[in-house]
Structure 1
Amino acid sequence: MMKWSFQELRIKAQDPLKVDKTLDLKTDLMNKNPEVLDLSPVKVQGYLIYDDHTVLAQLEIALTITLPSSRSLEPVDVAMQFPIRERYIESGWQSELVQDEDNLVIELEDNTVDLGRAIVDNIITHIPLKRLTPDELEATELPSGDDWNLMTEASFQNDEKESDQIDPRFAKLKDLLSDDTSES
């Protein structure tokens, strides 16, 4: 897999260690997130750089994941591509590099960098909430049924504005009630 101890990386990654692998993380991902129906092999490219008791991982991840549609639960293939920028620091060490960066900093307990686990965790955080089949994307009307209908947020807000308007027949009653409360 993609696991290195800090001792290995101290030797191998003094100069940037190029990473160009294809990983099978399907079982690991499906164990962590049962919503995942399928996962293509994950393409990982980037570099690991050891410096001052830290390892900087700069990776690009590309994959296709199959998930249930957020509307119909039909399988949907979602192509994903995203960067991972993380700095791992040896347990018990401090480094000025950590405070000067925008990268996610992770202190390791066992001084072993496990990129497979980091990639699985990043895939989970990048899973989109809205996933639609091609037919659902093309549909102009949202599904509805007996006593229910699916609404967009904009149509919901429009309905709320319309329901907030006072019936003109009751507007005078509102004025009467406000006069009664001011007299007390």
Structure 2
Amino acid sequence: MLSINFSKVKNNAAPMVHIECEVEVRPEFLKRSQKLLYQAKNIKVSGDLFYDEPYVTGNFKVSADLVVPSSRSLAPVDDHEEFSFTENYSQDKPTKDELDENPDPIVTINNDTIDLQTAVEDNILLNIPTTILTEKEKDEHIYPEGKGWEVVSEKAFDEGKKNQINPAFAKLKGLFDDQNKNKK
């Protein structure tokens, strides 16, 4: 598990503590995220932590190779992610004002231990794209369908709306046909 002591960063003679390592996800993380993530490997984390009273702030860069479900078919899709995140760590529970004023999350730590493993795992989930497709779904514009229903593209939906006849007006369409026949 990837962790570092709050006091180590706070009392370090150097202004920053640098970390660079590979991370293995925990089985409980994969179980917790099973509907969002099938596999995570080659996870590399680099970052710096520094003390800025009352917080230890960490700026991290993560790269990971993931296998995630397609947002259309749930078929496995290989995805490479690279992202950054920043978190503040505090030994005391932050006040509502502190949470409102700070743009970065403030995480309360226990027993002088900053749990970077959970931070990396949670941010992997947060950075999975909302729309991710297999190559076949991208190339062939494949949408899911079932008995009596189908998903259509926004373009096809708009075309269908343009060509759709209002049922109330459809009844009126033949209203004057009899009168036109009588005039002939």
Q: TM > 0.5 between the two? A: yes
**Pair 1:170–1:110, CA change in 2 (3 A):** farther
Counterpart secondary structure, 1:29: helix
- Report the counterpart of residue 30 of structure 1 in structure 2: 30
Deviation at 1:97, TM superposition (A): 8.7
The SS at the match of 2:121 is helix
> Which residue in the other structure is 2:90 paired with?
89
TM-score (norm 2): 0.75
- Cα distance, 1:159 vs structure 2: 3.3
After superposition, the C-alpha distances for 1:128-147 in whole angstroms (9 at most, x for unaligned) are 23221111111145455653
The residue type paired with residue 105 of structure 2 is L
**CA contact 2:73–2:144 (8 Å) conserved in 1:** no
Residue 113 of structure 1 aligns to which amino acid in structure 2? I
**Percent identity over paired residues:** 24
Contact 2:3–2:115 under 8 Å retained in 1: yes
> Which residues of structure 1 form unaligned runs of 5+?
173-184
The answer to whether residue 137 in structure 2 is matched with residue 136 in structure 1 is yes
* Letter matched to residue 86 of structure 2: R
Q: In structure 1, what is the Cα distance between the partners aligned to 2:42 and 2:109?
A: 27
Structure 2 match to 1:59: 60
Alignment of 1:1-184 (within 5 A): 1-12=1-12, 15-25=15-25, 27-35=27-35, 36-92=37-93, 101-140=102-141, 142=143, 144=145, 147-160=148-161, 162-163=163-164, 165=166, 167-170=168-171
Q: 1:68 to 1:40 in 2, by over 3 A?
A: same
Give the 3 Å change call, closer, same or farther, for CA 59–28 of structure 1 in structure 2: farther
User: For 1:67-110, what per-residue CA distance to the aligned partner results, in whole angstroms no more than 9, with x for missing partners?
Assistant: 2222233211111111111111221577x997764222223354
SS at match of 2:11: helix
Aligned-partner SS, 2:61:
strand
CA contact (8 A) 1:91 1:110 kept: no
RMSD: 3.0
Deviations 1:136-168 (A, max 9, x none): 111145455653322123433443455474654
Q: Structure 2: which amino acid aligns with 1:139?
A: E
Matched pairs, number: 171
TM-score, with length taken from structure 1:
0.75
Classify the secondary structure of the residue corresponding to 1:118. helix
CA distance in 2, matches of 1:32, 1:169: 53
Gaps of 5+ in 2: 174-184
The DSSP-based 3-state class of the residue aligned with 1:77 is: strand
Q: Is the 8 A contact 2:94 2:106 kept in 1?
A: no
| Cα separation, 1, equivalents of 2:75 and 2:39 | 13
